[in-house]
Each structure stands twice: as C-alpha cells, then as structure tokens.
Amino acid sequence: MIIFDRARKKFGNVDAVKDFSLTIEDKEILGLLGPNGAGKTTLMLMMGTVYRPTGGTITVDGLDVVKQPNEVRKEIGIAFQDPRVDGILGAFDVLNWHLKMTTGLTKEQREKRVEEVLRSLDLWEARNKRTWLMSGGMRKKVEDAKVLCQRPKIAVFDEPTAFLDVPSRLLVWDMIRKLRDGGSTIIVATNMMDEAERLSDRVAIVNLGKLVAAGTPEQLKSTQKGGEVLEVAVESSHGLTADILTQFSEVHNVHVDDNKVVVYLNSGRLLLPKIVETLTEQGFKIGSVHLKEVTLEDVFLTYTGQRLE
C-alpha cells in the first residue's frame, strides 16, 4: 500500500505538489490523470526517492521514503516519461543491466525474461541497435520494458504509451494489466483520457499539484449530475452565459468555451430542441449539436475547468 499524506513539494517559490493525500491499494492500477505540469512526475519522483518532499509523508508498504529510501527503492521500478536509457547501448544490454541491478535473477533467467519482453514488444530484431538510433516509439518501448522485465512490487509508468502507435499502445496496456495480475501495484501517470479510463482500476485527477478527485472511472462519471452531456458548437460564444441554460431544471451545469457550450443535463433528447431554440432566439448561430453520455473528459472538465489536449 502506498500512502501520500499531505505530501508537498516546492521548487523555489513554485508549489509543484500541494497537500496531496491519497492511498493506493495493493495490486490495483491507479491512473494519475492530469495535464502537463500538474505535478504527476514530481509525485512519482518523490515516491521514487529522487526528490525529498517539502512537507507531509509518503510511505511505501510502511516504509518512509525519506527515512528508509534504500528499502523503498528495492520495491519500486519506474518507467520514465522521457526514456532514460544509455543511448550508446542496445536494448538488450540496457534491460539486462537493469535486471542485474534490480533483481537477483541468474544470467539465464535474466536473458530469458529480457528476450520474452523484447519479443512481446516486437523489439527482438532490434535488440542490439543502439537506442539513440531508435525511433521515439521504440525508445519508449525500451523504457517501458525495463519495468515490465523487472516486475517490481510497485511499478510506475509515466505516460507509458506516449509516441506509440495504436497497436503498440494496446500491447503495452495488455502487458501492464498482466503485470498487475502477477501481483504488482501499478501507477500510470497519463494525460490521455482513454488510457486512464481503459487501463485504470481507479483514477486520481491531479491539477496544479493538487488531488481534485479520485475513484473508479464509473464512480467519477456518476458524480456528474444528469449523466448526459450536450455539446453545442456555436459560431461565437461572446455574450453567452450559463444562466441562459440553467433556467431549465434538467440542466445541472454549463461550461462555455470559445466556440463550444458543454451542458450537463438529463432528459437530453427531450430538452435538446428547447436548448437549440433558446440559443437561436438569443442570436447565437449553432454549428452542430452532439448529445452523449458522460465521459472521464467531462469529469475532468468539471473538476479542473479545463480540457486535456
């Protein structure tokens, strides 16, 4: 179990993480969802004993990251956002050395495991190619492979599928799930909604260094009143205020972007013509209308007031 208890981190005058409290259960996949600069990487590096928390405590299986950093490091494996591999070495050497450092496996066991993971990630043929000569996607897979080979008790993936094509993303997700099934606790930091939603058992939304919401994707979506979202594209939202639409009792919340109005409501099918009529009467030119169920993206928008690009 990992416990963040009012963890804080300041860099100079900047609060990268503010009073972050969260408990991560054993053998779950926790998606840490937030935009770039939200503090996700800082949280992971504090847990990984690279940064010292400015305040609060972080414990990993009862071990304090400040007081027992050496013991904590034995539990953790981190796949970084930007691949941290010796560019001059090949993928096989990088992974083999990583396993030497982090596991007590024999030479045969190490080589077998590295081969298994490299073959699964379709990197076996390129195993001796210097990693700095690899494409961004290949390098990213080598970075993920470090933790997939290591099979640590706590596996951390920082944006594991950045730069990857769709088949590779699905493959990496599948391998991360298998790692969880094998007994690892997984933390996946991501700014991709579908990754958080499809991969995570629970999602923690982080914004500006703070935890703003946490729960299963379904729980988070159920916090949205109404359960439906109406997206109305308008030519210009200048002068469009929420109260124009909150006059309807079925409308629970309204977000107005530059050229888009997002309405959280129920009975959407019945209300849609009334909303279109109201907006048209007010002089707003409507481009398109889209009625859908609540997604994690809508939850994120509600809690943070911004969209993840």
Cα end-to-end span (Å), the chain:
31
Residue ranges of alpha helices (H) inside 157-295 are 166-181, 193-199, 217-222, 243-246, 268-281
Q: Give CA torsion, residues 43, 49, 55, 57, to 10 deg.
A: 90
Residue identified by tokens 């951390």 is 156
Site string for other proteins, 60-79 (x = CB under 8 A): ------x--xx--xx-x-x-
> Which of 12, 101, 106, 181 lies at the binding interface for other proteins (CB under 8 A)?
101
Of 102 and 161, nearer to other proteins (C-beta) is 102
Cβ at position 146, least distance to other proteins in Å: 9
Asked if 84 interacts with other proteins (CB under 8 A), we say yes
Closer residue to other proteins (CB): 44 or 263: 44
The site that binds other proteins (CB under 8 A) totals a number of residues, namely 27
From residue 4 to residue 23, what is the string marking binding to other proteins with x (rule CB under 8 A)?
--------------------
Q: Is 148 helix (H, G, I), strand (E, B) or coil?
A: helix
Give 82 or 194: the residue with its C-beta nearer to other proteins.
Answer: 82
Phi, psi torsion values for 235, nearest 5 degrees = -65, -45
Inter-residue contact 225 to 58 (CB < 8 Å): no
Selected range binding other proteins among 82-90, 194-202, 203-211, 250-258, rule: CB under 8 A: 82-90
Answer for which of 33, 45, 179, 232 binds other proteins (CB under 8 A) is: 45
Both tokens of residue 234?
Answer: 């308008």
DSSP state letters, 77-141 = EEE-SS----TTSBHHHHHHHHHHHH----HHHHHHHHHHHHHHTT-GGGTTSBGGGS-HHHHHH
Based on CB atoms, which residue is closest to other proteins, 89 or 242? 89
Which residues sit at the interface with other proteins, rule CB under 8 A? 45, 48-52, 66, 69-70, 73-74, 76, 78, 80, 82, 84-89, 93, 97, 100-102, 130
